[in-house]
A and B are shown apart, each in its own frame.
Chain A
Amino acid sequence: MAEPEQLVVEAQRQATAATTLEELSTVRTAMSGKRSPLVAARKALGDLDPEARREAGQALNAAKTAIDEILASRETELAAAARAEKLAAERLDLTEVTDQPANGHLHVITQTWQELEDVFVGMGYRVAEGPEIESEWYNFGALNFPLGHPARDMYDTLYVDYGEPGSTLLRTHTSPVQARVMENQEPPIYVVAPGRCFRQDTADATHMPVFHQIEGLVVDRGTTLGDLAGTIEAFTAAYFGPGFTSRLRPSYFPFTEPSAEFDIRRPDGTWLELGGCGMVHPNVFKACGIDSEQWQGFAFGFGMDRLALIRFGIDDLRELWTNDIRFLEQF
């Protein structure tokens, strides 16, 4: 019968020789299994006298503990190695992507539209909407453009075949929304109305028969031209950023008086002519059923398309409408 110390040495030798968990399992069976010399030696203990039995038993127990430790330690080593090997086999080049999901892109007009809405919502405005096919009344009549007035000529209006000839048109500006809001809402009113507008225009780099405007309307007690100028200035700072300022120049629109053009001054000192504005004309208030002695207001409006072009560095309006994916995916 082998000495317990020899069994430990043998177990150490075999465990070290095992290079896989499977081999180690065989070693385990051989060195500590039911048929192992260790177990055989234990069974043989009964034949010894009590003194020798105790001594031999202690030696066997110590060998058993040592062998278990050897096996466990080797198992840990081999398991780690096996895991490392498996992971090494699974190595991936993380830049190998063949099914990259695309990003969808909002149209530059929508992006501009939403930015503008957000600026005005932040200033306490609600967002109003109106129909794109509009009546002659809301587009012109309610806005103090009398029938046959030359000022109507400033708008190259597209009409549609609906109702009486000349009664129904594609709105030439978002201003009809002013009239609709004033008819339907008691002042105070703080709204903006972004929307699509139409004019009889030949498409080129700077003109399209369809375009987008945003309109602002404030009706409150004692609203002044100074409030209008201050609001334009506050919007300018909020939308364009620090260093941009604004100015108002007298102009003419039938639905506002006094009327003004407003320009944005860039930090480099150049000017961007942005839009028109003014104090709501008493005739417009009258047409919408608001007492102009009780309430005063201002309105402003400007084009979104050109803003989008400038913001994104696009040089041709027609690009907005091609739906070329190479265009859409840039923004």
Chain B
Amino acid sequence: MKVLLSWLREFAPDIDGSPEDLAEILSDLGLAVEELSHVGQGLEGIVVAEVLATRPHPDADRIHLVDVDAGDGEALQVCCGAFNMAVGDRVPLAVVGTTMPNGMEIARRKMRGEWSNGMLCSGAEIGMGDDHEGILILEQGLSLGVPLAEALGIHPDVLFDLEVNPNRPDAMSVMGVARDLAARLGVPFSVAAPKVDDTGQTAAERASVSIAAPDLCGRFGVRVLDNVPSGASPRWMANRLLAVGQRPINAVVDLSNYVMFELGQPNHTYDLDLVPGGELGVRMARSGEQMTTLDGVERTLTEADGVIVNRDDEAVGLAGVMGGASTEISADTRSVLLEAAWWDPMTIARTARRLGLRSEASSRFERGADPDIIPMALDRFAELAAALGSTAALGMVDAAGNRPESITVRVRPERVNSILGTELNAEEMTALLKPIGFNSDSEGDGQDFDVTIPSWRLDSATEIDVIEEVGRLHGFSQITRTVPVTEQAGALTSRQQDRRRIQALLTGMGISEAMPLPFLAPGDLARAGLGDDGITVTNPLVAEESIMRTSLRPGLLKAVTYNAARRTTGVSLFEIGRVNPGGGGDLPDEIEHLAVILAGQKATAATALWRRLARNLAVTNPGVVNGPVDGLHPGRSGRVMVDGQPVGALGEIDPQVLDAYEIGERVAWLEVNLGALLDADRGLAPYRAPSRYPSSDIDLAFTVPDEESSDEVSATIAQAGGELLASVALFDVFRSDQLGEGRRSLAFTLRFEASDRTLNDAEVAAARQSCIEAVTTTHNATLRG
């Protein structure tokens, strides 16, 4: 929403202060100033010129040469990057020596070998509209050589571009912004009643409105205007519209826009001759009903849309969003039906959204327009039109539907202060509220009071809404800042601490944290060997973001591919993230996974990592069971176990998957269900003082069949070794022809010790022997050497 300072001052002439200060105040009122610009200034060196001829630049495609006459009859050559002008057009010329509003100096200079004696200006360059592309084409008839500001009647002004929140329907108008600003500044605000000399037949004799959808249309006001102007609107009006970003079209359209910007009431003009009998009606559309809107697009409607219809029940307007093409004003129009209505905000919002048709009108109606402003909007239009020779039929047609009721809110001063942290008394509160139209009955006794919500603030309906207004007008910056004190000790949950522990362990091992997108493309899971696609996104913008992941594997594989393609192999990455494996209750199951990818490493690197992780987290009973896992190398994969239950998988990525991802190295993989892992039985074993007595180490090597896992052999040794066995560790594995197919040698170091004595040779020998017997009998193994 763009507003001009001069326009604001028509409602509050005493608004004063530097533009920068006013911008601060507007922001502090909740009307954030996105841009503050000075318009109509620095135009001293810009004059009206006529295009005499255009011709290509001999040495450049993007600029051409334009000869202009700047009033002295001489052809002045200018290089220009815009091509939208024709011979005979009036255009703004910045003459040599001019400093543009943006500070640029215009000098005579050569562009690719051709002289440019000045610059032709776009609207944006001189603060007249948003158009940066083309040169501003001025109206014919302007005298050549005259300063542009003089020719167009432009005065220096300040333009505020405001961001208006959805709860501020009032601020979608110059009047509403002026009301807020005047209230904060403590200066008078008033709205002059438009003067209309209406005459002759009454509007009611020439037009009628029937409302068949009263919940949609709260009020429908109509004036009938004759002798409407067919040409351009007056220059001052066109200048204002241009400044606020609305391109002038013709007098009737410009008047309509002007009234909307000024008072916030969208309005629409119908060519009266195209509305049989001047009869209009309002109803909900029928499913599949079609109409062509002003933009020439045929719209298919639903029962949720509102329409304005003619006597024959044909839709001639899409309620609150856009008028229809069939009754559009043309150069031949002499009389118009002027409509100003109040529409149900939700209906308008839905229709505008469904059709992708956010118009200036719909953005006001969906916030909630002011039903009481309708007569004034009609009158203001008539008043401005009268200055252009138009006449108005007597009175207006004022049809009523179910308009929003006036609301009165009980306000407790104590509550206001309790929410805001202020110490205002009731009088101070009502004094803040009154200038923005929130009138109250406070008796000045500090008691609760009733506030009547103004018709332009349909967003407000409860005490908290009024409290917000008190706070807003008082100024959030005026409120004393305090920090609440809690007796609660701040802390992370054990899960959050565990995550950090894991992150610290893995980064300490040289593994960096990756952050792949959590979305997948169709087929990504299959490509990673993971079977069917997971939960789908209903409305993705691109197919690559249409599937929720069931595993962290596709994302990390992609990361390895990405780095390999940039000549970095052997990357180690991890991710902690949520996956949706399918299933669930009210919501899909959402499970937190930890995955580690070790490019260039073999499967046992993943096992080693898993063991460190388990030890780090003090998992009581971790394990690994060899066996095939989808998408992993069938001979190099297994399940990650805790307490005998699988909580994940590890191994090497299936070579076929590696091919699909164009990865040329072995890739070790570990993925665990973090919740299951962290919720498992965990905790350190009871403390045992280190023995003061020497320990004895022995090595044992067995020939063991391949299907017997080293872990199982190790466990057998641990059990057989009993109390005296302090540790057992695999230290060598080898295969050879002598050992034969399907068998390998596993060599373990065993350390025996007792806490109360030095073990004698016989004790160690006995323990050794029971370990050997246990392994050879349990695992079909033979002792070597």
Q: Please list the residues of chain A having a beta carbon within 8 angstroms of any beta carbon in chain B.
A: 101-107, 109-110, 114, 117, 120-127, 131-135, 148-151, 153-154, 158-163, 165, 168, 170, 188, 190, 196, 200-202, 209-210, 218, 220, 222-227, 229-231, 233-234, 247-252, 257-261, 279, 281-282, 296, 320-326, 328-329
Contacts and interface: CB of A to CB of B under 8 A. Distances in A.
Interface string B442-483: 000000000000000000001011011001100011011111
A257 B573 contact: no
Contacts of B465: 257
| In the A-B complex, the 3 residue pairs with the closest CB atoms | A226-B421, A250-B30, A224-B421
Contacts of B572: 102, 104
B584 interface: yes
Given A148-B346, A249-B27, A252-B168, A328 B587 contact: no
Interface stretch (B515-523, B660-668, B760-768): B515-523
B107 interface: no
Given A131-B590, A202-B541, A226-B421, A329 B512 contact: yes
A328 B519 contact: no
Given A249-B476, A323-B515, A231 B483 contact: yes
B489 to A, nearest CB: 7
B541 A324 contact: no
B510 A150 contact: no
Contact of A126 (B488, B535, B566): B488
Nearest to B492: A127
B29 A250 contact: yes
B679 to A, nearest CB: 15
Contact of A224 (B353, B482, B540): B482
Contact of B349 (A110, A150, A247): A150
Contacts of B510: 101-104
A296 B455 CA distance: 29
A251 B481 contact: no
Interface residues of B, number: 88
A32 B578 CA distance: 83
B580 interface: yes
Given A133-B587, A252-B165, A324-B566, A229 B512 contact: no
Contacts of A121: 490-492
B104 interface: no
B590 A210 contact: no
A131 B480 CA distance: 36
A111 to B, nearest CB: 9
B306 interface: no
Contacts of B496: 117, 127
A321 B512 contact: no
B330 interface: no
Contact of A320 (B353, B515, B548): B515
Contacts of A117: 492, 496
A170 B537 contact: yes
Contacts of A326: 566, 568
Label chain A's interface by main secondary structure: mixed
Given A148-B346, A150-B346, A200-B541, A249 B587 contact: no
A325 B512 contact: yes
A114 B507 CA distance: 15
Contact of B517 (A165, A296, A321): A321
B479 A226 contact: yes
B588 to A, nearest CB: 5
B136 to A, nearest CB: 31
B691 to A, nearest CB: 33
Nearest to B566: A324
A168 B587 contact: yes
Given A150-B349, A258-B468, 19 more contacts: A103-B510, A104-B512, A104-B572, A104-B574, A132-B578, A132-B590, A160-B535, A188-B488, A200-B541, A226-B422, A226-B480, A226-B481, A231-B484, A249-B27, A249-B32, A251-B30, A251-B32, A258-B420, A328-B573
Contacts of A120: 490
Nearest to B484: A227
B7 interface: no
B472 A328 contact: no
B464 to A, nearest CB: 5
Contact of B559 (A148, A200, A323): A323
Contacts of A102: 510, 572
B418 A296 contact: yes
30 contacts: A101-B510, A104-B512, A106-B507, A107-B515, A126-B493, A127-B492, A135-B587, A149-B349, A150-B353, A153-B353, A154-B166, A158-B539, A160-B535, A160-B588, A190-B488, A210-B517, A218-B486, A220-B484, A223-B484, A224-B419, A224-B421, A225-B471, A229-B479, A230-B482, A231-B483, A231-B484, A247-B476, A250-B471, A257-B465, A325-B571
Contacts of A249: 27-28, 30, 32, 476
B535 A328 contact: no
B350 A224 contact: no
A158 B538 contact: yes
B508 interface: yes
B419 A230 contact: no
Contacts of B518: 132, 196, 210
A296 B464 CA distance: 12
A279 B509 contact: no
A103 B515 contact: no
A159 B539 contact: yes
A134 B587 CA distance: 7
B720 to A, nearest CB: 37
A110 B503 contact: yes
B29 A168 contact: no
A104 B506 contact: yes
Contacts of B353: 150, 153
B537 A160 contact: yes
Nearest to A297: B484
A151 B166 contact: yes
Nearest to B556: A323
A325 B496 CA distance: 26
Nearest to B473: A250
A103 B166 CA distance: 49
Contacts of B486: 124-125, 188, 190, 218, 220
A261 B32 contact: yes
B471 A124 contact: no
Contacts of B491: 121, 126
A168 B490 contact: no
A117 B27 CA distance: 31
A231 B353 CA distance: 38
Contact of B580 (A133, A233, A248): A133
Contacts of A159: 537-539
Contact of B562 (A105, A257, A320, A323): A323
A324 B290 CA distance: 53
B191 interface: no
Contact of A149 (B346, B506, B559, B571): B346
B161 interface: no
B434 interface: no
Contacts of A261: 32
B346 A296 contact: no
B514 interface: yes
Interface string B400-434: 00000000000000000011111000000000000
A209 B519 CA distance: 9
B563 interface: yes
B512 A105 contact: yes
B545 interface: yes
Contacts of B515: 107, 109, 320-321, 323
Interface string B516-549: 1111000000000000000111111110010010
Contacts of B586: 135, 163
A161 B517 CA distance: 19
A3 to B, nearest CB: 55
Nearest to B509: A104
A279 B420 CA distance: 9
A153 B349 CA distance: 9
A310 B43 CA distance: 39
Nearest to B304: A148
